[in-house]
Chain A
Amino acid sequence: MALLGKSLLRSKFGSYVCKARELIVNQRRCIVSCVDPSLGLTEEQKEFQKVAFDFAANEMAPHMAEWDQKEIFPVDTMRKAAQLGFGGIYVKPDVGGSGLSRLDTSIIFEALSTGCVSTTAYMSIHNMCAWMIDAFGNEKQRQTFCPPLCSMDKFASYCLTEPGSGSDAASLLTTAKRRGDHYILNGSKAFISGGGDTDIYVVMCRTGEKGAKGISCVVVEKGTPGLSFGKKEKKVGWNSQPTRAVIFEDCAVPVINRLGEEGQGFLIAMKGLNGGRINIASCSLGAAHASVLLARDHLKVRKQFGEPLSNSQFLQFTLAQMATRLVASRLMVRQAALALQEDREDAVTLCSMAKLFATDECFAICNQALQMHGGYGYLKDYAIQQFVRDIRVHQILEGTNEVMKMIISRNLLQE
């Protein structure tokens, strides 16, 4: 019988051990009806979602606190995920991808995020880069770069933002001057996720005139002379991925590494971001889902004034609103994913709306859930604070929510 106890602790069915973490791990698998993320999905999508939830609960959730506190980039875990097909989810199968739709991708990232937002968010950036090469690269580039990215043999980073150009991305200054069959890159990129630890850098740089039309997209490999990195940034969240400046000093990149035509770079970057925005919004959904369940469980357990908190009408109503806003956000994101995969003309605006709405709402939900935990919510022993810290940045990157409003209003006011 003692053997049985030990193996239960070791085995996948660790839910039988009633530590707080195991309870959390179990709740994230859902079972609560109205916020059940599998509602309305096809059988096949439910299978994908199940694998992602199981992976998140078993391989990620038990480590998310340690990865955050020790700032560990969990290469082995991500490679395990890649073996299941999570390295290039919407990349075509002929180069190692899983060939799934944007909606399938959203469902998967939402589920993975319940295990660790920061790691899942990095995986979504990696996926975005792999897709950009798959969609805009020529045959040689696809065959060279995509397979090792899909297996996560190699990791990727997306390099657009610079110290002087964030929201005003088209004003970027990194130059790429043609010299024979190389581009010589000079300049620097800021806030690059994975920077310094990743192998493949998808870089937007200026080959031509000012503005968006002068920008091209090139693939730079780590180890290229002239490529160096700044110090690792200390962040409030997203600590399981390193963030560094990426510096180019007379860095020679082969012209054959350019994706698409000269001047097409900005378009490629923005198309990548449409999907990236859905993915980031999906990560926010996962965090909010986990937080709603954590808050609900806390309300049932915590007693004050002689009763469990769940008897308080104010808290009941607040929980109801959190759940409603979560489901509303989820619908926005999934609808945008559908529009993108169907190539509808409203897709770009819908992706912006979904990113804006979901990231704002989900942050409010996680924040409210932290408040419901009282003092305990502020302690790093409890997961809720990490969800809040990790998704705070989703309102800022891949296009600030202010830029999202610019895109939406432009669409509304166009002639």
Chain B
Amino acid sequence: MSARVLVGVKRVIDYAVKIRVKPDKTGVVTDGVKHSMNPFCEIAIEEAVRLKEKKLIKEVIAVSCGPQQSQETIRTALAMGADRGIHVDVSGKDYENLGPLQVSKILAALAKKEDVRLIILGKQGTFASQVDFQEDSLKVEREIDGGLETIKIKMPAVVTADLRLNEPRYATLPNIMKAKKKKIDTVKPSDLGVDLSSQLEVLSVEEPSQRQAGVKVETVEDLIKKLRDSGRI
């Protein structure tokens, strides 16, 4: 198979860090906070690398949209086995306004430019828990509320990765050193013909309200009375 796979990797606040809202409520604190690759993106990279090891695809390209530091995230993907990286340079105000619509336009433009047959991303919508590569199509097993669903899709296709798709590998010391030599190209969104203007405006960011303590009731009648009193029924 001579297919290329594009994997999106995002540099996010490390999952172990406690998130704090900025005092001016315009967003969350990111300065000086530890960042790493989105764990679901790790799963996406792992799946792509496994497909390459099974010789079902030819090349794995890791893509990240963001400021200079996004290159660190791409390096991690390279250390896990991706062949090369593309850094779409977006910084400052543009980065703050970068939403899913803009990113998908960028990925679509890159997919056309690099002749990509499959895009694997970290979970956001439907989840794949198993991917089988066939001649011209993909057999994807996904988990839905009722159980498991198997679907067949034609390529080019976009697949998002769920927790149970795989267990991401540790990067090995030799691979980390090899990753230094792999290429990372930098492109600007304008090179891809993508317009970054956003139709959305963030008004305010707030912490979720504190959980209120619950109330215990003795009998079913009490429960109904309480629900009626608070206007719930």
Contacts and interface: CB of A to CB of B under 8 A. Distances in A.
A252 B12 CA distance: 60
Interface in B111-127: none
B15 A15 contact: yes
A321 interface: no
Interface stretch (A80-88, A203-211, A349-357, A399-407): A80-88
Contacts of B15: 13, 15
B141 to A, nearest CB: 14
Contacts of B174: 85, 93, 98
Interface in B154-180: 163-164, 167-168, 170-174, 176-177, 179-180
Given A3-B143, A12-B167, A13-B15, A44 B39 contact: no
A48 B180 CA distance: 13
B173 A7 contact: no
A181 interface: no
B16 A26 contact: yes
A244 interface: no
Query: What is the interface residue range for chain A against chain B?
Result: 20 to 34
Given A11-B167, A44-B180, A47-B79, A85 B172 contact: yes
Interface string A41-56: 0011001101100110
A172 interface: no
Interface of A: 3-4, 7-8, 11-13, 15, 26, 29-31, 33, 43-44, 47-48, 50-51, 54-55, 83-86, 89, 93, 98-100
The 3 closest A-B pairs by CB, nearest first: A85-B173, A98-B173, A47-B176
A48 B173 CA distance: 6
A84 B172 contact: yes
22 contacts: A7-B164, A8-B163, A11-B163, A13-B15, A31-B14, A31-B16, A31-B17, A31-B34, A43-B72, A44-B180, A47-B176, A48-B176, A51-B176, A54-B170, A55-B170, A84-B170, A84-B171, A85-B172, A85-B173, A85-B174, A89-B173, A98-B177
Interface of B: 14-17, 32, 34, 36, 39, 72, 75-76, 79, 143, 163-164, 167-168, 170-174, 176-177, 179-180
Given A43-B72, A99-B177, 5 more contacts: A7-B163, A8-B163, A47-B79, A47-B171, A51-B170
A44 B176 contact: yes
Contacts of A13: 15, 39, 163
Nearest to A85: B173
Nearest to A8: B163
A50 B75 CA distance: 13
Nearest to A98: B173
A11 B15 CA distance: 14
A332 to B, nearest CB: 25
A99 B34 CA distance: 29
B80 to A, nearest CB: 10
A51 B177 CA distance: 13
Contacts of A11: 163, 167
Nearest to A88: B173
B184 to A, nearest CB: 12
Given A12-B168, A13-B39, A15-B16, A43 B75 contact: yes
Contacts of A33: 32
Nearest to A54: B170
Contacts of B172: 51, 83-85
Contacts of B14: 31
A124 to B, nearest CB: 15
Contacts of A85: 172-174
A90 to B, nearest CB: 11
A99 B179 CA distance: 15
Nearest to B167: A12
A84 B163 CA distance: 23
Contacts of B167: 11-12
A60 B22 CA distance: 37
A15 B18 CA distance: 13
Specify which of A11, A26, A55 lies most central, judged by the most chain B CB atoms within 10 Å of its CB: A11
Contacts of B176: 44, 47-48, 51
B168 A84 contact: no
Specify which of B39, B143, B171, B173 lies most central, judged by the most chain A CB atoms within 10 Å of its CB: B173
Nearest to B147: A3
B123 to A, nearest CB: 12
B171 A51 contact: yes
A131 to B, nearest CB: 15
Contact of A51 (B17, B173, B180): B173
A44 B34 contact: no
Contacts of A89: 173
A153 B145 CA distance: 45
A320 B76 CA distance: 34
A93 B178 CA distance: 13
Contacts of A7: 163-164
Nearest to A12: B167
Contact of A44 (B17, B32, B163, B177): B177
Contacts of B76: 47
A270 B63 CA distance: 49
Contacts of B168: 12
B187 to A, nearest CB: 21
A364 B168 CA distance: 38
A98 B72 CA distance: 22
A8 B15 CA distance: 14
B143 A100 contact: no
B133 to A, nearest CB: 24
B18 to A, nearest CB: 8
